[in-house]
Structure 1
Amino acid sequence: MNISIRRIADHDPKMISDAFKEQGWDKPITLYERYIIEQTNGDRVTLIAEVNGQFAGYVNVIWKSHYPGFREKNIPEVSDFNVLLKYRRMGIGSALMDRAEEIISERSSVAGIGVGVFSDYGNAQILYIKRGYVPDGQGIYKGEHYVECGETVVIDHDMALYLTKELEN
């Protein structure tokens, strides 16, 4: 198995969207077209993983996070990390994360990442902890605010725990 990692290119959006559609996920072409524009502008890096020349997954590095705990400290964020179901548990996610952390280490000694708090994110939670990410100590963040003790909230994809990792330069 040959895993290669490269930056997103103009010909990728439809291919990526179609690959996720095949497994029942709605990831519109316009999302990846936006990623290309933001990469061209220097706001993000989108990395594509291929296995034997076939699309397998992707991850982003966002230089100015929307999450206040990272933005205030200029911590770049690893974001929107996805590996196709048929390619999971083959090392593709680790290869993407290795390259994302390598890119971040060129500008920062710390990487940040957010992870959902319910079971759909269980594999990601385990992966990030094994890679050395630890909670940033700010608690759970939902939408645009930190969740307070006693607050009633709906647990969904907008709720995350944010983690950081010290990188070796």
Structure 2
Amino acid sequence: MARYPAVVGFSSMTLFARLENPRGHGHTGRGAKRDCSERLANMTTGKDMQHQETGDVVIRRAVQDDIPALDAFARGMGQAHEAGYFARCLEEQAAARRQIFLAIDAASGVLAGYVQLNDYPLYAAFRRFGLPEVQDLNVLPDFRGRGIGARLVAYCEDVARAAGKTEMGISVGLYASFGAAQRLYVRAGYMPDGAGIAYDDIPVRAGEMRAIDDNLTLKMTKSLVP
């Protein structure tokens, strides 16, 4: 199958990427605090969820009962999601437009991180070539350094590959707080798509001025073909 080409004039989205429609932003979780008392409700329920045990972490698809834990996670990370954000995400999951995958610490049952796989990203080049996009990748500070973020990304790749996708998209912010993410994606095999940078999923042209914030991003792609 044809590979996604470098398309001049396109790029955007953040590492801890963003929900598309509703339009909310992902966050790096700078200075975030973890509430150790938060536990996921009904972690092992649900017939249709995808599930993978990777030693100290269980990765599975989110269900409705996970919304309170996801809301608590977002609050602990200082994320400014609007009310009902995760409920709308799960509505899109039910409509086969995106999926949310959770990383659960096997020892404590704590929600250590999550990621979204969006089959209909706003970024025009990804949509044009049918690339799903890894979005909203977040790992609690206390669980970082264990490879959980890398495992969540790899899990999304496996899901996309099983669905017949041959290329994956991802985005990363450009300022220092995204440094670890930039390194993670390069190690995972992602390369810039060759289209420069974008702001809020809209290409930035030469000479244009944009704020250096979470909306200013570099789009990256990776082949899923062995």
Shorter chain as denominator, the TM-score bin is over 0.9
Separation in 2, partners of 1:69, 1:93:
25
Structure 1: distance between partners of 2:80 and 2:154: 27
Match of 1:95, SS? Answer: helix
Q: Provide runs of 4+ in structure 1 moved above 6 Å.
A: none
| Greater share of residues in helix | 1
Task: Tell me by how many angstroms 1:154 deviates.
Answer: 1.0
In the TM superposition, residue 78 of structure 1 has moved relative to its aligned partner by 0.7
Query: What are the Cα deviations for residues 64-113 of structure 1, in whole angstroms up to 9, with x where unaligned?
Result: 21101101111111111111111111121121111100011122110000
Q: CA–CA distance in 1 between the matches of 2:168 and 2:175?
A: 22
> 1:101 aligned to 152, 157, 177, which one?
157
Matched, 1:153 2:153: no
Residue 44 of structure 2: aligned partner:
none
1:16-55 equivalences in 2 (<5 Å): 16-28=70-82, 30-52=84-106, 53-55=109-111
1:121 maps to: 178
Q: List runs of 5+ in structure 1 lacking aligned partners.
A: none
Which is further off, 27-36 or 89-98? 27-36
Q: TM-score, normalised by structure 1?
A: 0.93
Which residue is equivalent to 1:131? Answer: 188
Instruction: Render the CA deviation track for 1:106-164: whole Å, top value 9, x for unaligned.
Output: 22110000111111111111100000000001110112421111211111111110000
Is 1:112 aligned to 2:169, yes or no?
yes
CA distance in 1 between counterparts of 2:157 and 2:201 reads: 26
Aligned amino acid, residue 86 of structure 2: Y
TM-score normalised by length of structure 2:
0.71
Match of 1:91 among 147, 162, 182: 147
CA contact (8 A) 2:123 2:202 kept: no
% identical aligned pairs: 33
The one-letter code sitting in structure 2 at the alignment partner of 1:152 is M
Match of 2:198 among 141, 151, 157: 141
Q: Which has the larger radius of gyration?
A: 2
- 3-state SS of 1:89 partner: coil
Asked if structure 2 preserves the Cα contact closer than 8 Å seen for 1:60 and 1:79, the reply is: yes
Tell me, yes or no, if structure 1 residue 60 matches structure 2 residue 127.
Answer: no
* RMSD over aligned Cα atoms: 1.5
Which structure has more strand as a fraction of its residues?
Answer: 1
Distance 1:70 1:23, change over 3 A: closer
Q: What runs of 5+ residues in structure 2 fail to find an aligned partner? A: 1-54
Identify the structure with bigger relative contact order (alpha carbons < 8 Å, sequence gap 6+): 2
1:144 and 1:16, CA in 2 relative to 1: closer, same or farther beyond 3 A?
closer
How much does 1:28 deviate?
5.0
Q: 1:27 to 1:145 in 2, by over 3 A?
A: closer
Answer with 66-75 or 12-21: which moved more. 12-21
Match of 2:68 in 1: 14
For residues 83 and 143 of structure 2, what CA distance do their matches in structure 1 show? 21
Q: Distance in 2 between matches of 1:151 and 1:23?
A: 32
What amino acid is the match of 2:123?
Answer: Y
